[in-house]
Structure 1
Amino acid sequence: MKEFWNQRYGAEDFAYGRRPNRYFAAHLHDVAPGKILLIAEGEGRNAIFAAQNGWDVCACDLSEEGQQKALAWAKKEGLDLRYDLGDFGALDYPKESFDALGLVYAHFPPHLKADYLRKAADLIKPGGLLLLEGFAKGHTVYQEKNPAVGGPKNVEMLFDKEEMLEIFSDFEFSILKEEVVELQEGLYHNGEAEVLRIMAQKKEN
């Protein structure tokens, strides 16, 4: 998996473009800036946007190529960006240490998915924000019609509302929906897709 992402991010072009994910960008403005963790952040498009808007950004990914690309971009923009390299499950962050957490097309192997998402939930402070956009289980229909839309081929890596309600049971959801959207994100997310979107606040202790 690491080799796959290094090959994808090692190209000169940005695999998913330089613009932030539209859903992430629209809702990050709904809360005051603080400390945010962006998981599976790739080449840094959402991290750069968050840093430009006053957030203290920590990103992580297992791809060295993605990390190098993001840090070079941040340096060019004069932005401070922490970017940790490694598998999310092996990275050590203190619990309840982030004001917000972003999961933008952060899909994990089926046997790790629930554990990784629960770990992500534990890292958010009480009252903190969770933003997620990823491919829903119904997305396989759109992949078959248009491979250019991207996404994991294994349906067990995709998301559904029921599992999100179970995993993020300590959160109040203001948005939890599966919907069909038109993606235009760089080279590998293009066309109609079925996605799951979350905006949720961790309940106070």
Structure 2
Amino acid sequence: MDKEFWDGRFSGEEYIYGEEPNEYFKEKLLEFLPGEILFAAEGEGRNAVFAAEEAWKVGAFDQSSEAKKKAEKLAKKRGVEIEYKVGKLPELGYEKEEFDAVALIYAHFPPEIRADYHKRLISYLRRDGLVFFEGFSEKHPAYQQVNPKVGGPKDEALLFSMEEIKKDFGELKFLEFYEAEVDLKEGVHHKGLGSVIRFVAQKK
């Protein structure tokens, strides 16, 4: 799914995944002291704005300029600031060891760039930096067939396997790492039972 697709999806007034943060991310973020955090493929900003409300210094990026507009509108509504960039990750100017945490919440990058993006994001972490992750697993299509409203990529190449995540993030220490069936209640596009992979990991 390209920039034009996401610009179209995010162009309406409604926050299609809601204005509240992902439940898993919210729960885990509150276990750590605030620092600097980067949100990958952040969309309309619900998770970034929540982190800013919790005193984190927030950076975010996405390929969609419409997503940025919505995220900045939500940040203004909540009285916080986020630094949001639009474009391809290698061109956005982030530095090695710039952040204390990276959030990948439904950041389903195409397979041809995914491993490189994950490697880059790890390099932006300081020592002991954290990765917060939730994404649809390769088991998710069975849930989509039962309930299309649960959302998620229709291209199975965009889904995650436990093995792939171990490969991409293996240099980190997993604090927890599991696959689960969850009941999503995130706007109009993540609604109902789905299969996800979740983890929190720390840079050694």
* Partner residue, 2:165: 164
Which 4+ runs in 1 deviate beyond 6 A? none
- Which runs of 5 or more residues in structure 2 are unaligned? none
Q: SS where residue 139 of structure 2 aligns? A: helix
The count of residues paired between Structure 1 and Structure 2 equals 203
Match of 2:114 in 1: 113
Q: Confirm whether residue 149 of structure 1 aligns to residue 157 of structure 2.
A: no
Letter in 2 for 1:48: V
- The Cα shift of 1:77 comes to 2.3
Instruction: Answer with 3-12 or 88-97: which moved more.
Output: 88-97
Query: What whole-Å deviation, never above 9, does each CA across 1:15-64 have from its counterpart, x for those lacking one?
Result: 10001000000000111100000011111100110000000000111111
Q: CA RMSD in A?
A: 1.0
Deviations 1:69-110 (A, max 9, x none): 111221232212100111224322111111000000000111
Identity of aligned residues (%): 46
Instruction: Say yes or no: does 1:10 pair with 2:11.
Output: yes
Unaligned runs of 5+ in 1: none
Q: CA separation in 2, counterparts of 1:40 and 1:71?
A: 15
Give TM-score scaled by structure 2 length: 0.96
Measure, in 1, the Cα distance between the counterparts of 2:119 and 2:18: 29
Letter of the structure 1 residue corresponding to residue 167 of structure 2? E
8 A contact 1:113–1:157 mirrored in 2: no
Number of the residue aligned with 2:79: 78
TM-score normalised to the size of structure 1? 0.96
Q: Deviations over 1:168-193 (max 9, x none)?
A: 12211011111110001001001110
